[in-house]
Structure 1
Amino acid sequence: MINERRQRFGLYLAGLRRDARKSQRQLAEALCRISGTASVTRHEISRWERGERIPAVWLPALAVALDVPLQTLERAAAHARGEDIGTGTPSPAEALAYFLPEDVELGPMASSTGRRVGASTAVALADRAHGLRLADDVVASSDLLAPAFRELDAAVRLYRETTHSEETGRSLLSSIGEIAQIAGWIASDAGEHDQAARAYRLGVSAAREAGDLALVGNLAGSLAYQLSNTGHEDDGLSLARAALEEAGQEAPAKARALYLDRVAWAQTKAGNPQLAMRALAEAHEAMADEDSQEAPDWAYWVSPEELDVMDARVYTELRRPLRAVPLLREVLSRYDSTHTRELALYLSWLAVALVDANEPEEGAKIARHMLDLAADFPSDRTARRGRVVLAKLEPYRDVPEVREILDTYAA
């Protein structure tokens, strides 16, 4: 994750430099003038922009040279180093400026009919898609929903209103599919399930046309996950299985592990515990397989730790807390605290598992932490999980720690 952040910080710096209309050499010269030294070269600027190094003492001079607030640069650099994004919470506008800079050189789409675009535009759109994915880690879905669908609309118009080679066209379609997937995920998290389903279906069409079967599986699996969680368990299970089948045995290992995890969850929600456990085991086997192809960018977050979280969620749902609690504690002990929504969700499963293990006092302690995080990072998913946690605690109202939580969060 830290490597990913360093890369994003480098792209962010490069965008700021382009906004300031400076070459790397010109920026280096400006920093030397501002600082009164001659120790910065364009090669050092290049290292920063590639994410190989993160400037520290140069941040004040960079803020002056690039005409940006020093606090904004300090937050971005801290995030790149793996720390919190800064003291205080950045506004949605600040966070979006970091992950989705305005200058991506895609051109004026509304008036670009017939304009020919090439590989550089396709690469820029792919980077845009990845920026949106990273923004979802730290920006609330209510703040990201409208920008995400503007990104999707702009990507579709870029494809439709330009001419391009077949190869560039496939790349653009894949990026449309990726943006549709994350836009659907954001909409689902915001409780806009119909809007999410439309985005997922658009993405499936684009990915199929691009011949990107792994992405088709991710989109279909995302919709299956939503169905399983919103009272359509049978449909969710059918679609999760279809996503796994359509992606095929040749899908990258990380992607196949993700599809199998979604099958496991769909089986759990459909009331098939043995089939759910079998799918979990197959997900771990897939993750451990030697992979002959590189994992797609959208699978950057899939890891053995994330598979452990799904294991623990399934164990919790199946009322097997002695297996769930140790897994969740281990993962949470090293989880990235800037991913507030996911942290709150994982804590919710831990709280439920602890109550099932007849530890209501400890469950109440975890529940408080979860509910406080959820209040700071609004999400339909965390709100639903919060209600589940409080309902689980209700039978233990006579326990003082539990009663305090129930009274505090009754509304």
Structure 2
Amino acid sequence: MREADLILRRCHAFRLADDVVAGGDLVAPVMRELKAAKELYTHSAHTGAVGRALLTGIAELAQLAGWVASDAEGLPGADPARLYRLGAAAAKEAGDRPLLGHLRGSLAYYETNRGNTALGAQIAHTLRGESGEEAPPRARSVASDRIAWCSVRLGDTQTALRAVEQSIEDLEEFEPGEDDNRRWLYWVSHAERTVMQARVYTEARRPLHAVPLLRTVLHSYPATHTRELALYRSWLAIALLDANEPEEAAGVARQMLELSATVPSARAAARGELLVRRLREHDDVPEVADVLADWA
């Protein structure tokens, strides 16, 4: 059991590193850790309990590997969809339904973000059932967020808004300490739920709802989380453009692009490209033209 516990501890250390280090810097070491865990499970003798613990470690590492691989580019064998499916299979064999739901939710999110919106939504709508009734509140909240995001990207705004409200209700049921054995939920908070709510509003072109939410979160968001600050500022800038406030959007966009340039993050780079395209629609505004002159 000591080896399995070490795998889980090392996986969580990588998760915490992902808060401040972009996927381009993390994907190779996380993939090595996953490979070592798989080899240990395959080539060692262990009891049923130890085997389940090792499978849990493999599932958690596969989820993290898929996540950082989607934020990086070009590492052979680091295909996020394949990694999420590997992790889901391991979680299912370990009998951990909430973790299975987390892996499947990660896959739904990934497929949606790469343009497979119908597939992403189809997977997302199975999550609460797959996670099981024993899923703790924060796991249910994450599942609801995945449903919300995949739905709004598919164009189903009403389902997305209902899922956002469900996520908030799920999180309100959380009691500190009740899911300490599931360290993959450490990041789930009211601030992150607010961000998802704002992202859904932005995607649905409801900027008057999105802008105040994003401003509130960004006011106190940790400065060390560079990638997330860049991503969240991209949502704020686009919401401001939708609200017909291009001058203010230009200032936020400049901050976002400057932050994005400092981290090897494919997600931040993609958001920056989208933001520049949206800014070009307002290139007659002097403040926007200045940003485009520096970053387009």
- What is the TM-score of this pair, normalised by structure 2? 0.95
In the alignment, what sits opposite 2:43? Answer: 161
In 1: Cα distance, 2:115 partner to 2:3 partner:
41
In the alignment, what sits opposite 1:32? Answer: none
Larger deviation: 178-187 or 390-399?
Answer: 390-399
Alignment of 1:63-142 (within 5 A): 119-142=1-24
Of 16, 25, 30, which aligns to 1:148?
Answer: 30
In the alignment, what sits opposite 2:87? Answer: 203
In the alignment, what sits opposite 1:358? Answer: 244
Of 242, 256, 271, which aligns to 1:385?
Answer: 271
Check whether the contact 2:22–2:265 (CA below 8 A) recurs between aligned residues. yes
Matched, 1:216 2:93: no
In 2: Cα distance, 1:154 partner to 1:252 partner:
30
In 2: Cα distance, 1:125 partner to 1:148 partner:
11
Matched, 1:301 2:164: no
CA shift, 1:165, in A, is 1.6
In the alignment, what sits opposite 1:189? Answer: 71
Q: Given residue 159 of structure 1, which amino acid in structure 2 is its aligned partner?
A: Y
CA shift, 1:191, in A, is 4.3
In 2: Cα distance, 1:155 partner to 1:132 partner:
14
What stretches of structure 1 move > 3 A for 4+ residues in a row? Answer: 191-194, 290-293
In 2: Cα distance, 1:367 partner to 1:272 partner:
28
Q: Deviations over 1:274-315 (max 9, x none)?
A: 111000011111111255942510010001111100000000
Of 275, 298, 313, which aligns to 2:159?
Answer: 275
Residues 369/290 of structure 1: CA separation in 2 closer, same or farther (3 Å cut): closer
Check whether the contact 1:200–1:223 (CA below 8 A) recurs between aligned residues. yes
Check whether the contact 2:141–2:167 (CA below 8 A) recurs between aligned residues. yes
Question: Number of residue pairs matched?
Answer: 292
Q: Which runs of 5+ in 1 are unaligned?
A: 1-118
Q: Deviations over 1:95-132 (max 9, x none)?
A: xxxxxxxxxxxxxxxxxxxxxxxx22221111011011
Matched, 1:176 2:62: no
Of 122, 133, 145, which aligns to 1:249?
Answer: 133
In 2: Cα distance, 1:207 partner to 1:249 partner:
16
- Secondary structure of the residue that 2:63 maps to in structure 1? helix
Of 349, 353, 358, which aligns to 2:235?
Answer: 349
In 2: Cα distance, 1:238 partner to 1:250 partner:
22
CA shift, 1:212, in A, is 0.7
Q: Given residue 407 of structure 1, which amino acid in structure 2 is its aligned partner?
A: A
Check whether the contact 2:25–2:264 (CA below 8 A) recurs between aligned residues. no
Check whether the contact 1:132–1:179 (CA below 8 A) recurs between aligned residues. no
Q: Deviations over 1:323-373 (max 9, x none)?
A: 101100111111111111111100000000111111111101010110111
CA shift, 1:159, in A, is 1.1
Matched, 1:334 2:220: yes
CA shift, 1:409, in A, is 0.9
In 2: Cα distance, 1:203 partner to 1:253 partner:
21
CA shift, 1:189, in A, is 1.2
Q: Deviations over 1:49-106 (max 9, x none)?
A: xxxxxxxxxxxxxxxxxxxxxxxxxxxxxxxxxxxxxxxxxxxxxxxxxxxxxxxxxx
Check whether the contact 1:217–1:244 (CA below 8 A) recurs between aligned residues. yes
- Secondary structure of the residue that 1:163 maps to in structure 2? coil
In 2: Cα distance, 1:208 partner to 1:197 partner:
16
Larger RCO, structures 1/2 (Cα 8 Å, 6+ apart): 2
In 1: Cα distance, 2:270 partner to 2:47 partner:
46
Q: Given residue 279 of structure 2, which amino acid in structure 1 is its aligned partner?
A: L
Alpha-carbon RMSD: 1.5
In 2: Cα distance, 1:226 partner to 1:333 partner:
28
In 1: Cα distance, 2:267 partner to 2:211 partner:
21
In 2: Cα distance, 1:279 partner to 1:143 partner:
33
Percent identity of the aligned residues?
A: 51
Check whether the contact 1:189–1:380 (CA below 8 A) recurs between aligned residues. yes
In 2: Cα distance, 1:375 partner to 1:127 partner:
31
CA shift, 1:250, in A, is 2.2
Q: Given residue 18 of structure 2, which amino acid in structure 1 is its aligned partner?
A: D
Q: Given residue 405 of structure 1, which amino acid in structure 2 is its aligned partner?
A: V
In 1: Cα distance, 2:56 partner to 2:144 partner:
22
CA shift, 1:248, in A, is 2.0
